[in-house]
Each structure stands twice: as structure tokens, then as C-alpha cells.
A and B are shown apart, each in its own frame.
Chain A
Amino acid sequence: MNMMIGYGAILAFTVLVVVVMNRARRGDATMSEYATGGRSFSSWFGTMAFLNTWLAGTVFVAFAGLTASGGVIGMYSLSYSLLSVVLMFFLGTPVNKWGRTYDLRTQADLLGLRYNSRSVRVIAAIIGVLASVPWVVLGMQSLGLVFSTLSFGQVSPYLAVVIGVLFIAARQIWTVKLGTRGLIISDMVQGLFAYGIGFLVILGMLVWLVNNGHGFGAMAPALLELPGLGSPAGPFYLFSLMFTGMMGAWCWPDLFVRMFSVRTPRTVKKSAVQAAPLLFIFSAALTTVSLLASSVPGVSEAPDTVWFIMAGIGGVGLVAVAGVCVVAATMGNVGANLQALGTQIANDIVGARSHERVESAKGAKIAVAAVTLVSAAVALFTANQVSGLIAIALVSYQAICQLAPTLLLGIFWRRGTAAAANAAMVSGILVAAVLELMYPSPLSIPWLGGLTSGVAGLIVNLAVYLAVSWLLPATAVEQQRVDALFDDLKSKAPVSQGAAS
């Protein structure tokens, strides 16, 4: 009976999401419409699309577990998330305006335009795809904990992973069919449940913890310490974690394309302003619960299950609601990733190779379906080797951060060149990869004061970008083209808007 309640809740929620997606269905025969949802969404859809892409189901599992086991340092994710929102505010005008003016569909597309370079576009696209796939696979596998918990002991952990992978893969039928428009509509439903209902559940947990003696006084003192001067992790360790998180945020193709989907640059900014308090309130509450719950029996033995241990206090119904929160957050992240990766493969790898601008959505739909099937197959075959995949995922995070100088300096600085971008990305990835192998995450590099491999790679990356840009400046014609791109941003001409959604 308990299992029926748990699995039934997930099924009912999924049906609700699919019904809402189908009601909003429109034609999306063109690649641009499929990839951007017609650039027609309002700020609230932009806000929820950002949150549902950024706050994956792992915030309830791995990040909550990190706080429950590692202590207050787990709050670093809140800090870099908010800095990413601040960056979103500044990125809004160039990304959205260039996107509409030049019909950009992907992050790599924008880089191709800015640097007037096919190689920059293709390298960025390949980095984005290769770095994202391990996270998609892990996202699929993470549902195993949900299906295992909601079976109340009826399903083995391995079978639960298989069920989770098959479930999330099947959900992608609608991602493939409905593209970005369907994703953003579903983000609203999924986000309202994951972070709205989820926040109410968190509030209940907080009240219970405080009323049952699980305050700061009950916590182990070590959990309230940050790595400081003289700490084993190194004095720059916390800085490195936050800096990598902030720089890496907009390098993820799935998150970046959200800025193409809303009506105007000002809509992106408004989405950021609305996202900040929601992100702050939700994440601060969740990390506080995870921190205080560290003294609850059973949590220290299995910190990744802290969300479900706490929900268990409220009975079967609350465990089912908690499970749906994780599923709702995972659906948004995995769907966005698969859609962005498929589109990027069709638009920027296959499209750039054939020297033709892809105009039909058919190729992207095939690519999204193919990436889904490959990811699901990898997730099933590696269901018993999750630790190896986590290592690859951590390496890939350090790798994707290396897009940041090319992406951010390209958007905010006129002098960067294609040669600088290519040299910087490649050198940064090589340095980060070698150091990551020597000092695997979450370890820091002792002789660099606790910097992580990603930050060390970024330092080399940035130095190469600046040096090559200054030593080998763009030709006069190319600089004139780039100046015109930036001058466009200063024009006060109103941005035309897509159809209202």
C-alpha cells in the first residue's frame, strides 16, 4: 500500500506535467522555434526556467547530504548560485539582444557570432556536450534513491535505479516532441511543486527540528567551521569552490539558452531579480534544515538520505511529497540538458560541419532522442559503478568552467579574438585535467594554497586569453565587425517581442 502511494504520487504528478505541456503545444517546425520557444516567454517563466534548470534534484540529495555531513561549508552553493544570478542580470542585454537580432539558438552559436569563428563554435559545442553528458547520466541515476525510498523496501536499490532511468527517459518523449516551449511550460509546474511545496515541507521540518532539541547546540562543533588560515584544505579552498561554481554556471549550455527564450533583455534582468529572493529563501531554508538535521539519528550514517529521513517523520504521505519534489526538480534539469545538448549537436556540430544554417527542427529532435537513448543506456550499464561516473562528472565540471573566459570576456570585452579563445579553452582544459588527475576533487592543491584544479586552469586560461588577444590583435576589418556588434547593444531601439505566452 505504501509503495502504491509513493509510486502513484509520481505517476499522478507526471500525468499533470504532460497534460499541461500538451495544452500549451504549438507548431515548432523551425530550428529557431524549437530551440528558443519563439523567444516569447514572460519574466516569471524565465525565473522558473532558470530555477528548475539550476536547482536539480541533487539539491535535495547530494547537496543536502554534503551539508549534513560536511557542515556549514555546504552553504557555499547558495553563495555561488546567487553570484550566478547577479551575472545573469549583466548577461541579459548582450545575450538576449544578439540572440534575437542574429537568430542565435545555442551558446556555441553566440560564440561563433562573437568570434566569427567556426572552430570556436565547434570546440565550445563539443566541450559543452562532453561535459554535460556525465551529469545527465548521474541525474538519471539519482532518481534511484527516490524510487528505492518510495518503494518502502519492496524494490532493491539496483532495480530502483533501473526504474528511475527508464522513467526519466520515457518522460523525454515530450521533451523531444515539444522542444524548449514544452520545457519552459513544464518548468513552471515542476518548479512550483519542487520549490513551492518543497519550501512548505522544509518549513515544517525546521519547526520540528527546533522543537525537538536539534538546534545549533546539538551540532558537532566541527560542522560549524570553515576552512581558514592553516586549515588542511588550504586558505583558498572555499574561495575556489565558490569561484568555480560562479564561473561555471553560465558555461552550461542548458542554462545559457534560457536567456534566449524570454521576450527582451529587460525580461532576462527581471527574471534574475525575481529568481534571487526565491533562490535565497529556498536554498537557505534547505541548507539550514540539512545542517540542523545532522544531529538526527541515522543522518550521519547516510547523509544523502537526510531529506527522506526528515520527511519520514511526517509519515508515508510526506515521504511521497518529498519524493515528488526530487522528481520535479530532476525532470527540469535532465530535460533542459538533453534538449540543449541535442540542439547544440544538430546546430553547431553537424550544422557547422555542413556549412549550412540548420533551419528545420527535425535534426534537433533526432539528436535529442539520440542523446536521451545514449545517456539512458550509459546510466543503465553503469548503475553499479556510480563512483567512477562521479569522478568523470567532477572532471567534466572543471573542464566546462574553462569556457568561462572565452564566454564572459567575449561578451563584455571587445578585444578578445578567436585565436585567443581557442588557445585559452584548450590550455585551460589541459591544465585543469592534469591537476584534477593529480589532485582529484574534492581535494585541493596544497602548493597553491588550497586552489582547486578548475581555478588553476582558469588562471592559465585567462592569462593565455589576454596574452594572445594583446599580442595577436584582430584585423582592422574584424575589429570593426566586433565594434559594430557591441555598438548595437547601446542602441535604444525597442526590442521587438515574440508572441505572448
Chain B
Amino acid sequence: MSLSAPAPDSLNLGGRKSSPEHRARLRRAIFAVDLFILLAPPVHWLFSGGQSAFWYFLVANAVVTLSLFALWASSSDEGETA
């Protein structure tokens, strides 16, 4: 797996320049979604019985894993190398 440094406007889907503030808001939103799908008790209650509990853990954690790649793509520490 190779993670190349993303361009500053790599999440620039609409063609406009994405500002550092916009990307910071996006990262906070991703963090909030991660917390919600893994921590929110109502979500746990929704999948509390049968095989759905197993699949909930699997899918929710897969989504959080993928969110790390979105966080990486939205980070913009230009001038630094990893």
C-alpha cells in the first residue's frame, strides 16, 4: 500500500479551490460520523438481535477504516513529507 501525498484540493469535486478551513470542517464532520456510527446507543439498539449485530460491527468498522483514507485525502500539510 502506498499513500501518495494528496494535492491540496484533492477533494475539490466542484472545480472550486477547497480552503484549509473547508477541509478542516470536512475532517471534523468525518470524525463526527465515525463517532455516531460506532458509539451512538440508538444505533446499537437498532442492531441488537441476531446476525445483524455481527454485520453491524463489520460494516460500521469497515466504514470507519475507509474514513481514515478520506481524512488523509483531506489533510494538507504541504511542505512536510511522511
Contact = CB atoms under 8 A, between A and B. Distances in A.
Given A264-B82, A266-B82, A82 B61 contact: yes
A223 to B, nearest CB: 10
Contact of A264 (B27, B40, B81): B81
B48 A82 contact: no
A175 B15 CA distance: 53
Contacts of B67: 86
Contacts of A280: 61-62, 65
Given A43-B82, A243-B39, A492-B78, A269 B57 contact: no
Interface in A33-47: 42-43
A265 B39 contact: no
Nearest to A226: B48
A236 B51 CA distance: 21
Given A216-B54, A239-B44, A273-B72, A267 B82 contact: yes
Contacts of B1: 274, 277
A264 B65 contact: no
Interface in A73-94: 75-76, 78-80, 82-83, 85-86, 89-90, 93
A494 interface: yes
B13 interface: no
Interface in A128-178: none
Nearest to B30: A86
A74 B6 CA distance: 36
A269 B49 contact: no
B interface: dominant SS = helix
A interface: dominant SS = helix
A228 B64 contact: no
Contact of B44 (A42, A93, A228): A228
Contacts of A113: none
Interface in B28-82: 31, 34-35, 38-41, 44-45, 47-51, 53-54, 57-58, 60-62, 64-65, 67-69, 71-72, 75, 77-82
Nearest to B68: A276
A476 interface: no
B31 A86 contact: yes
Contacts of B64: 79, 82-83, 86, 276
A272 interface: yes
A83 B77 contact: no
Contact of A93 (B51, B57, B65, B77): B77
Given A83-B34, A239-B39, A291-B54, A227 B48 contact: yes
B31 A266 contact: no
B32 to A, nearest CB: 11
Contacts of A270: 3, 72, 82
Contacts of B5: 266
A291 B35 CA distance: 25
Given A72-B54, A86-B71, A272-B68, A284 B61 contact: yes
A1 interface: no
A228 B49 contact: yes
Given A228-B49, A272-B68, A274-B1, A78 B77 contact: no
Contacts of B38: 79-80, 82-83, 242
A224 B65 contact: no
Contact of A495 (B31, B39, B72, B80): B80
Interface string B18-34: 00000000010001001
A229 B44 CA distance: 10
Contacts of A497: 81
A493 interface: yes
Interface of A: 42-43, 72, 75-76, 78-80, 82-83, 85-86, 89-90, 93, 216, 221, 224-229, 231, 235-236, 238-239, 242-243, 246, 263-267, 269-270, 272-274, 276-277, 279-280, 284, 288, 291, 492-495, 497
9 contacts: A75-B57, A82-B38, A225-B53, A226-B44, A242-B39, A269-B77, A277-B65, A279-B65, A492-B78
